[in-house]
């Protein structure tokens, strides 16, 4: 959730209840320096991605299974080795990196005309560890390949990168998030 000023790095010095502060603490300074402009560009880009992809805005809960003959389960969690996570993976104390695949052809929602909503299949990779991790991308079918859509290692979230085949490794930066799109 974003509140006014988050998109330009306004912190209120950690005060989450500055409504009664009529001073620099709660004022918005719209004279943006370089880093603030970069943050604003990044936030705009992420908002545009969310608007573009209905798989990120589902209205119904996930089922963890295939929907309407979809290619993969609507929601799948992955370890960095490219295998699906197990209950044990969730309960161990050292998991610092995981992936989340959201199937664009397994959205249970319909549009106002009653038509199934379809989207790209996206893969979110999250690395909370202090060092980079090579993440093996899932390969649920032959020829599956992934395009990088977002990588927080860059200030604006955009990273030029060649398409990666399923089974290849993605170098996920330390304390970073990346989003990849399954190529059609």
CA-based radius of gyration for the chain = 19
Q: Are 68 and 44 in contact (CB under 8 A)?
A: no
* Run of H or E residues at 51: helix 34-52
User: What pLDDT was estimated at residue 1?
Assistant: 67
Q: Give just the sign of the alpha carbon dihedral 151, 158, 153, 141.
A: positive
Length of the chain, in residues:
184
Nearest CA-CA partner of 53 in 138, 119, 132, 131: 119
User: What pLDDT was estimated at residue 17?
Assistant: 80
- Give me the residue spans of the domains in the chain: 6-50, 61-182
CB atoms within 10 A of CB 142: 7
Q: SS3 for 35? A: helix
Helices (H), the chain: 34-52, 87-91
Mean pLDDT by 10 residues, the chain (184 residues): 74 80 82 88 94 91 77 90 92 89 89 92 96 94 92 89 92 96 90
Measured in whole angstroms, the distance separating CA 117 from the mean position of its chain's CA atoms is 20
Superfamily designation of domain 61-182:
Golgi alpha-mannosidase II (2.60.40.1180)
- In angstroms, rounded to a whole number, what is the distance separating the alpha carbons of residues 148 and 160? 8
Q: Are 55 and 103 in contact (CB under 8 A)?
A: yes
User: What pLDDT was estimated at residue 151?
Assistant: 96
């Amino acid at each position: 959730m974003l509140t006014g000023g988050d998109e330009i790095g306004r912190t209120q010095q950690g005060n989450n209840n500055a409504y009664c502060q009529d001073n620099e603490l709660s004022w918005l300074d719209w004279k943006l320096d370089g880093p603030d402009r970069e943050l604003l560009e990044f936030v705009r880009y992420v908002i545009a991605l969310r608007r573009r992809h209905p798989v990120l805005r589902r209205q119904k809960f996930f089922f963890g299974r295939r929907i309407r003959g979809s290619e993969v389960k609507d929601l799948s969690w992955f370890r960095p080795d490219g295998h699906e996570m197990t209950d044990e993976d969730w309960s161990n104390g050292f998991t610092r990196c995981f992936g989340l695949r959201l199937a664009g052809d397994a959205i249970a929602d319909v549009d106002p005309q009653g038509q199934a909503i379809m989207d790209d299949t996206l893969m979110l990779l999250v690395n909370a560890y202090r060092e980079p991790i090579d993440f093996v991308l899932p390969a649920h079918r032959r020829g599956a390949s992934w395009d990088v859509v977002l990588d927080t290692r860059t200030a604006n979230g955009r990273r030029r990168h060649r398409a990666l085949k399923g089974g290849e490794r993605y170098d996920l930066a330390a304390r970073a998030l990346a989003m990849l799109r399954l190529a059609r």
